[in-house]
A and B are shown apart, each in its own frame.
Chain A
Amino acid sequence: MNRFRRASSILGATIAATLVIAGCASGSTSTTDNTPITLTLATFNKFGYSDAMLAQYHTLHPNVTVVQNIAATSQAAQDNMFTKLAAGSGLGDVEAVEVDWMPKLKQYSNLFVDLTTSDTKSRWLDWKSASATVNGKLIGAGTDIGPEAICYRSEPFVKAGLAGDPAGVATLLTGDWNNYYSVGQQFAAKKTGVAWFDSAGATFQGLANQYQNFFEQNDGTVIATTNPDVKAAFTSVLNASATSSAHLQEWSTDWNAGMANGAWATMLCPSWMLGVISGNGPKITDWKIANVFPNGGGNWGGSYLTVPTQGKHTAAAKELALWLTAPEQQIAAFVTTGNYPSQVKAYTDPALTGAMNPYFNNAPIGQIFAARAQAVKVTPYKGVKYAAIMQAVQDGLTRVESKKQTIDASWAQVVSDIKALS
């Protein structure tokens, strides 16, 4: 009995001592010393941060390993962000945020680290960094912007008797949206078996981003239900989609499959869409890019990298975010998946100006998107309710596209849904 007691008490003391020592060791991890840490980089869709790039960061900072988690869509990333912000934990060390829901986050700027350094002063386009600044605090490091061109498939164009080369298509589509729709109707009349554009929803985004105050006034007042431009855009896109649309809701599994099967001939192409097209349709060989956009130009999307304060290694995460958004890295991302830089220094870099994309039949993407970015005249104002209003309108477009409702009935429901948001 005594021997057992002695043995068990020695064992207990040893275990206790081990736990205490282990506990002491896992205390603070300062970022100035070289304790190995793992940073989680949470992005969505395609940011162009290849494994090679992350390995390069590891070579520069040997104690830091970067793990990338990629959400399927911006919507999924948004849901995750707000859920985990409310929970107080669970976010990655660096989180990507899209411009459409950045205003929602700006209300909670105290939950994000200030990314200002001596480097950041004039790194980005003014409007880009202004959209992520709250009372002088920069909460988002700009990654890309989304200057839009038109991507098209040359085989259906040729089959329909239209010009198939990029210059010819650019001439054909120069003009306003009515011109885009009427060329679409000519195309549809030729019955190539392929639709003109993918969905009313995606096309509507192109229209929405060409107005300064589409859904909201600069002070945040919601004008979506009364702004005649919104109703006009809604109606015109749906009228066109009756003959021209593939009726596949953007980002759905059917849309992905449709892209793989080449179900439509043109689509609005912000620079980040290049990676989506090439990723979804590896077997399609006739995608090309026309240096044109209805009504001149527009910007769709563009993202930021943020560092939530709930992370364990915020200083190291800030370094990573600022490195990834440096001009050199953004150019590398552009070459990989087409994410056009928002960094001013990148625009004069020969790596950018001379870039070509082999999937798009060697399109000179550097020149095309530089020209498209120049053509952007309007920076739309996006307020706190922008994402929710856009979702309500997108639902309205889907309802009409899937033939559930007439345009007027659907618009009435959109109006009541928007009113219920407040």
Chain B
Amino acid sequence: MIRRAVVRWSGKEGTPRRLQVSQQLGRLDVKFSPYLFVSPFFVLFALVGLFPLVYTGWVSVHDWDLIGGEGNWVGISNFVFILQQRQFWIALRNTLSIFLLSAIPQLIVAIAIAAVLDTNLRNKTFWRMSVLLPFIVMPVAVALIFGSMFGERYGLVNTTLAQIGIGPILWHTDPLASQVAIATMVNFRWTGYNALILLAGMQAIPRDLYESAAIDGAGRLRRFFSITIPQLRPTMIFVIITATIGGLQIFDEPRLYDQIGLGGADQQWMTMTIYLYKLGWTQLNFGRAASVAWLLFLVIVVIGLANLAITRRIASSEST
């Protein structure tokens, strides 16, 4: 096909007054197609991230029955009510406590495992895959089995401890013990996963750093603390942030830890998500549950920003 040439040249120095259609399309392509390429993410985020956020906010300012539907506008009274509840503050305390009990040991053990996997093992792939096995077990199954193992009278853990003379630990009665048990479940699941991510980070560290350190006489441990850990900072930041966001929202493990699933008779292991579930699905008060959801969101944002501030400080002091 012959395109009509629309280019006109005036005089000797050609000043193209209008472009060909194909050239116009080309320009548009360069300008707008990057946005089109990233738009699927934003569309998806709008659907499953932004819309639920806004809708939950809408629900939280109404008196909303779970099944009956939207009721009257109540403004911030749901929030005011929740902030005055003893159970809300206990849930917050429990959530932070379980998060710290799970994140800190997890990271330490994950780094250690990654360091071991990074060495010259035989059957490397086998070891690296088996570290991931706990991750593929369903959280529900883990919670049911661990919940039964941590039974106070007849559980496996207490009967084993009794044989070495340690008295029965009140895994379901004492808040700290129950939180340790739940943190154990979380660590069981996520340590291997994080170890593999840290392993990937470790393998990106240039080997000549280790060689030159070895030449200078640094031992294994010294090389680990002075080279590996500092070089792993970006990966660790990623792992810490994902662990934070996940750890503040755990639900499966506390829910199946006992047969009632509401966090214990004295809210020993009731996390914010369990409190949310209690309000929304057992008391059928959707408005209050939505306000807890928004408060949890704000807590996560605050902690995320704190994370960012701290890691920026560390990173900037690193780069000097």
Contact = CB atoms under 8 A, between A and B. Distances in A.
Do A and B pair up? The answer is yes
Given A104-B284, A108-B68, A399-B265, A72 B259 contact: yes
Interface in B210-260: 258-260
Contacts, number: 81
Interface string A391-403: 1001110110011
A26 interface: no
A79 B281 contact: yes
A403 B170 CA distance: 11
A276 to B, nearest CB: 13
Given A86-B66, A402-B170, A261 B259 contact: no
A254 B151 contact: yes
A72 B283 CA distance: 21
Contact of A75 (B151, B170, B259): B259
A83 B261 CA distance: 14
Given A82-B66, A251-B259, A421-B283, A399 B266 contact: yes
A388 interface: yes
A156 B262 CA distance: 35
B170 to A, nearest CB: 7
Contact of A404 (B67, B148, B259, B266): B266
Interface in B152-188: 152-155, 170, 172-173
A75 B66 contact: no
A301 interface: no
Interface residues of A, number: 39
A174 B68 CA distance: 47
Interface string A163-174: 000000000000
A254 B153 contact: yes
Contacts of A32: none
Interface in A384-422: 388, 391, 394-396, 398-399, 402-405, 413, 416-417, 420-421
Contact of A252 (B66, B151, B283): B151
B4 to A, nearest CB: 29
Nearest to B255: A79
A405 B265 CA distance: 11
Given A253-B147, A395-B265, A83 B281 contact: yes
A111 interface: yes
Contacts of A75: 259-261
Nearest to A395: B265
A76 B147 CA distance: 16
Contacts of A403: 173
Given A75-B261, A82-B66, A253-B259, A420 B85 contact: yes
A379 to B, nearest CB: 25
A351 B120 CA distance: 74
A50 interface: no
B33 interface: no
A413 B265 CA distance: 11
B39 interface: no
Given A82-B284, A253-B147, A420-B85, 10 more contacts: A73-B259, A85-B67, A86-B281, A107-B67, A108-B68, A249-B265, A253-B151, A261-B154, A399-B266, A404-B266
8 contacts: A78-B282, A85-B67, A252-B172, A253-B147, A253-B155, A258-B153, A399-B266, A417-B87
Interface of A: 72-73, 75-76, 78-79, 82-83, 85-86, 104, 107-108, 111, 248-249, 251-254, 257-258, 261, 388, 391, 394-396, 398-399, 402-405, 413, 416-417, 420-421
